[in-house]
Amino acid sequence: MRAAAADRRGVAAVEFGIMIPLLSLMVVSLTDIGLALYRKMQVEEAAQAGAQYAIVRGYDASGISDAVTNATNSTAITASPAPTQFCGCPTSAGISAVSCGTVCTGGAQAGTYTTVSARATYYTLINYQILATTYSFSAQSTARLQ
């Protein structure tokens, strides 16, 4: 019995067997976080691609929506809500919507703007019990057309 208690062979294998589930959970969790951040970046890129389309080709709601959905290889990204066009004046707080043809502060004519939105949902790889299993990402990009 003493010989068995003093025997240290196989200790590393037992320790490895105890630690492997924890290490596996850490790897899966880090991968999950990375994939979620990647989805968020895809949504932001899609909104920017829609705004760039509008700048180059003008306001075309269906074309902008197509540019948003085709910006990445993800099929989960949608152009929601639909793109909008409005007239506005730049202010220190952003762009204030005004009637087209209005003269803004400083004497400039109101510009034509478009707002493009993109949205997608990310589903986690495993259920962590203490965290949500789905995350909704949305991004919005506004660009001056004229």
Average pLDDT over residues 84-97: 91
Which position has the token pair 């493009």?
A: 116
- Kindly tell me if the per-residue pLDDT of 19 is higher than 70: yes
Task: Report d(CA 97, CA 84) in Å as an integer.
Answer: 12
The pLDDT value given to residue 32: 95
pLDDT confidence bin for 33, thresholds 50/70/90:
very high
User: Residue 51's CB: how many other CB atoms inside 10 A?
Assistant: 24
Return the pLDDT at 86.
95
pLDDT for res 4: 63
The stretch 15-36 carries a mean pLDDT of: 93
What does the pLDDT look like over 104-116, one tens digit per residue? Answer: 988 889 999 999 9
Query: Helices H, strands E: what count in the chain?
Result: 3, 4
Sign of CA dihedral 104, 106, 109, 111: negative
| pLDDT for the residue 29 | 93
Mean of all residue pLDDT scores within the chain: 92
